Homo-oligomer: A and B are copies of this chain.
Amino acid sequence: MELSDSESDGRFTVAFLGPLGTYTHEAAYKRFADHAHYLERKTIADVFSSLSPSVPLGVVPQENSTFGSVIETCNALRGSHPGFVRGEVLLKIDHCLLVRKGVKLDEIRKVMSHEQALGQCQEFLATHLPLATLEKSTSTAAAARALLDNPPECAAICSQICATLFQGLEVLRQGIQGETMNFTRFYVVAHSRETVMPFRHPLDGKALVRISAPKLPSKSSSTPRSIVQLLDSLRLDVTFIDRRPSVSLEPFHDVYFVGVCNLVDEPGRSGEDLWSSWTSEVDEAAERVRQMGGDIDVLGVW
């Protein structure tokens, strides 16, 4: 039903880490507003696996300024067809402590939230709720909704909007994250590299590549080269380097997710031509890495 709606009103479908009321929902809406249908998914892996010609785009959290990279997103990007990153959205995060109406701070025995939010609020939790049990949930909004099925001495950490989405809940404390400046960056992921973007947006001049860690060189062999040589041969500005175990069965074999950007041309331009030209530049960088004996995939250009 949703797809035919989508076809009839000209809107495209965007999958996001749901339910309604998550920060990812907020980020997706910030980017696509009323131009899109929003399709809630239970996990980050579900967002990736729901990408298809009829669900061309998805939005997932990538990194928080306090707590670091989102491991589920890294893990999804280790797969063989993880989709193709075509954009990013930056959002300021303000966490609230949500409870059933009337519950007081000293009555709380359990705090539920996504592990990222629990991590971001660990200072508040250690100071004000040192004895509370912490329980991971699939999203901040799922934690809010779970308050209704739990005893009253529970709390959820989530966005303020959840207090209006679910009846009988109220905000007990606001802005409980550790750092005053707390931002999360989200990726806009397309079904494939060839997906035509339904929504024109200025080019950021960024890209994401995945490089398989070479085995350490020994005195006797000249290839494969070290990860530093491979990074160097990109000849692009590297904005971050993230390491995860690879999905291979070999223990301690890693893949690196490397963010790069184009500083020569200023960002903020738009149009498919500019995107194609920046894509070619990234492809050429990847080819240089391959010529050094490196194993590299381009996972996104935006």
Contacts and interface: CB of A to CB of B under 8 A. Distances in A.
A280 interface: no
Q: Chain A interface secondary structure, helix, strand, loop or mixed?
A: mixed
Contact of A181 (B69, B226, B249): B249
Interface stretch (A11-19, A25-33, A163-171, A216-224): A216-224
Contact of A252 (B136, B183, B216, B245): B183
Contact of A239 (B134, B216, B218, B244): B216
A251 interface: yes
A65 B252 contact: yes
B136 A249 contact: no
Contacts of A239: 216
Copies in the complex: 2
Interface stretch (A193-201, A227-235, A289-297): A227-235
Given A71-B68, A228-B232, A243-B242, A237 B216 contact: yes
A180 interface: yes
Given A219-B263, A219-B264, A242-B243, 10 more contacts: A65-B252, A69-B243, A115-B115, A179-B251, A182-B251, A216-B237, A216-B263, A217-B263, A218-B263, A226-B237
Interface of A: 63-69, 71, 115, 133-136, 179-183, 185, 213, 216-219, 226-228, 231-232, 234, 237-245, 249-252, 254, 256, 261, 263-264
